[in-house]
Amino acid sequence: MRLSDVASAHVRELIVSGQLHSGEFIRPETLADELGISATPAREGLLQLQTEGFLSVEPRRGFMVTALTSDDIRDIYDAQALLGGELAARAAAAITPETVDELERIQEALENAAAAKDFDEEERLNHQFHALIYQLSGSRKIRWLIKTTLAYAPRKFFAAVEGWPEASAQDHHAIIEHLRANDPEQARAAMARHIRNAGTLLAEHLSQGETSTGKDQSAH
């Protein structure tokens, strides 16, 4: 991986995980010192994030984190829904009863983590749930594509989204049901609906946060 790619991946992760917020500034020299690289690849990495819409350039101040709009978030999750739906459909044709049982065990642990408000464990188990389904699809290219879109999706916010644990659990149980029935089309629809639901709820949550920020200059 090129050093500029290391720099862009590092800052992108800080943004989508909520560690860097809209309006904050990043200077190439500071990033270079943090990563132990020269300023040139650090600047190239930041310019890449500018082309992706994560940053804007402010003269004499550096690169500023730009806000993702509700439409941006919905677009990202719509793309994920198409890819995830296809992966789930392919998995439905190949899944075994033993793997369905494993998905149910993961889902039970996920719901326990949500009830305990262990958000890091909840996120880990949610990733494991989806990764197991996607792995069963047998499609390396589509899995690579959805992994690419995940790099652009805001994370660490779902813990604050009202009703998300219950909505996600309901969606996951529907996905498991259709996988157990080896029904590709219903599995496709259930997975796509689940991912779009996530995008809609996240867009609404962040939109409310932006409204609050406009009033009291706080929020993420």
In this structure, which CATH number among 3.40.50.300, 1.10.10.10, 3.65.10.10, 3.40.50.80 belongs to the domain 3-65?
A: 1.10.10.10
Residues 6 or more apart whose Cβ sits within 8 Å of residue 39: 28, 29, 32
Cα 77–Cα 81–Cα 85 angle in degrees, nearest 5: 165
* Of 82, 84, 78, the residue nearest 202 (C-alpha): 78
Give pLDDT tens digits for 92-123: 999 999 999 999 999 999 999 999 999 889 98
Structural domain boundaries in the chain: 3-65, 70-216
Q: For residue 134, what are its two tokens?
A: 């996607």
* Of 122, 83, 80, 125, the residue nearest 104 (C-alpha): 125
Average pLDDT, stretch 154-178?
85
Q: For residue 171, what are its two tokens?
A: 């969606």
**pLDDT recorded at residue 161:** 74
- pLDDT range class, residue 159, cuts 50, 70, 90: low
**pLDDT recorded at residue 118:** 92
Lowest mean pLDDT among 1-5, 44-48, 100-104, 109-113: 1-5
Give pLDDT tens digits for 132-144: 999 999 999 999 9
**pLDDT recorded at residue 53:** 86
Average pLDDT, stretch 41-67?
91
**pLDDT recorded at residue 157:** 66
- pLDDT range class, residue 156, cuts 50, 70, 90: low
Task: Quickly list DSSP for 19-88.
Answer: SS-TT-EE-HHHHHHHHT--HHHHHHHHHHHHHTTSEEEETTTEEEEPPPPHHHHHHHHHHHHHHHHHHH
DSSP state of 182: T
- Compute the residue count for the chain: 220
Average pLDDT of the chain is 89
**pLDDT recorded at residue 42:** 95
In words, the CATH class of domain 70-216 is: mainly alpha
157-184 as b/e: b if 16+ CB within 10 A: bbeebeebbebbeebbebbbebbbeebb
**pLDDT recorded at residue 209:** 58
Asked whether the predicted pLDDT for residue 215 surpasses 50, the reply is no
Average pLDDT, stretch 54-75?
88
CA atoms of 63 and 40, how far apart (whole Å): 14
**pLDDT recorded at residue 218:** 35
Asked whether the predicted pLDDT for residue 79 surpasses 70, the reply is yes
Q: How far is CA 179 from CA 79, 105, 136, 147, in A?
A: 22, 15, 11, 21
**pLDDT recorded at residue 39:** 93
- pLDDT range class, residue 217, cuts 50, 70, 90: very low
Q: For residue 161, what are its two tokens?
A: 């989204």
